[in-house]
């Protein structure tokens, strides 16, 4: 099965996701890690997967921005495109106050663009 015939992920509005993160006191962030890593693994046939992403998010959450951006970048690379994000994008989380926002906007935006390019609505 080629990756073009595999399941597509869901496009998640960045502003809505950030709002859900705030009103759920961060719990939505764990769901986001689970869902997007599960979708990426089903689509490309490799990667962390949702379960492992959730466990890592719960116990050593600081690694997840690096791993998430890396996997999103790999989606592009497998299609022959330049990576809009990579593990290095995770460094944004070290910038106080706005760094996490910048990281999420870049990573979720790149993931949404990828899913749309593959036909997701």
Question: Which pLDDT score is estimated for 121?
Answer: 83
10-58 pLDDT, tens digit each? 999 999 999 999 999 999 999 999 999 999 999 999 999 999 999 999 9
Question: Which pLDDT score is estimated for 3?
Answer: 46
Question: Which pLDDT score is estimated for 5?
Answer: 58
CB 70 within 8 A of CB 87: yes
- With 0-12 CB in 10 A as exposed, 13-18 as middle and 19+ as buried, what is 89? buried
Query: What is the average pLDDT score of the chain?
Result: 95
Question: Which pLDDT score is estimated for 63?
Answer: 98
Q: What is the DSSP string of 54-100?
A: HHHHHHSGGGHHHHHHHHHHHHHHHTTPPPS--GGGGGGGGSTTTHH
pTM for the predicted model, two decimal places = 0.93
């Amino acid at each position: 099965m080629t990756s073009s015939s595999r399941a597509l992920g869901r496009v998640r509005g960045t502003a809505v996701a950030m709002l859900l993160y705030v009103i759920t006191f961060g719990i939505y962030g764990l769901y986001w890690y689970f869902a997007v890593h599960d979708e990426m693994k089903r689509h490309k046939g490799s990667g962390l997967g949702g379960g492992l992403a959730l466990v890592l998010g719960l116990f050593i959450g600081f690694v997840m921005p690096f791993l998430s951006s890396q996997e999103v970048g790999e989606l592009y690379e497998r299609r022959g495109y330049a990576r809009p994000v990579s593990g290095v994008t995770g460094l944004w989380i070290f910038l106080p106050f706005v760094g996490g926002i910048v990281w999420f906007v870049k990573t979720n935006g790149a993931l949404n663009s990828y899913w749309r390019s593959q036909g997701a609505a």
